[in-house]
Amino acid sequence: MSEEIKTRTAAVTPKGFNHLVLNVRNIEESHHFWCDMLGFKQVGELKPRDDRPNMTMRFYSGVTDDVNHHDIALVEVPSMPENPEWSLAGTSCAINHIAITYPDRESWMEQVKFLESNGALTNPLRVDHGMTHSVYITDPNGYGVEVLYELPDEVWRHDIDGALNYAKMLPAEHLYTDTTEYETNFS
């Protein structure tokens, strides 16, 4: 007996993204960036099999207490072009940027300082968004990476569209300028 599946007139709303797979030029260089600089943990690696093309692919999780099967995967493609210049307004990569959320303001500040002390903050872009406080950096393959913490729901929930359109750019010398007096008027 087969299960009857409801016919819908609109798409089902997803829970969110499950994982992201990035093509990278050098798996070791990218592994260092995503693990040692951003804090992801490698949880698996694709093993060779006769029924699929052989490729170098690793899987990573950002979940600490209850490990997720993977949040991001890296596939080595040595023919990728050298580091394209990334910018928030436009880039030659198909992905504009990847946002990585840290648990809270304190861990985010510690992460930004860690990135700076390890030379991973070349040309950082510091932005106070209406729903996050963020620093944008570039990974070894030219992908933009947004390192952020989310502001409390009560800051932005009353005006999601306004928060999405709000952005206060801070100069690089204000990398650690952060306040908990969050903006709530996004007009």
DSSP state of 50: T
Residue-range definition of the domain harbouring residue 178: 81-187
Q: Strand pairing partners for 133?
A: 128, 149
Q: What is the CATH number of the domain that holds 28?
A: 3.10.180.10
CA separation for the pair 138, 146 (Å, rounded): 9
Per-residue pLDDT of the chain (187 residues; tens, 9 = 90+): 677 867 777 777 777 776 888 999 999 999 999 999 999 988 888 888 777 778 898 998 887 676 677 889 899 999 888 766 777 776 666 677 888 888 888 888 889 888 888 888 878 888 888 888 999 998 888 888 888 889 998 998 898 888 888 888 888 777 777 888 888 988 7
Alpha helices per DSSP H over the chain: 27-31, 105-117, 153-156, 160-165
Question: At which residue do the structure tokens 């690793």 appear?
Answer: 58
Tell me whether residue 10 is in a domain.
Answer: no
Tell me whether residue 116 is in a domain.
Answer: yes
Task: For residues 113 and 145, state if they share a domain.
Answer: yes
CA separation for the pair 98, 74 (Å, rounded): 13
Domain count, the chain: 2
Task: For residues 90 and 150, state if they share a domain.
Answer: yes
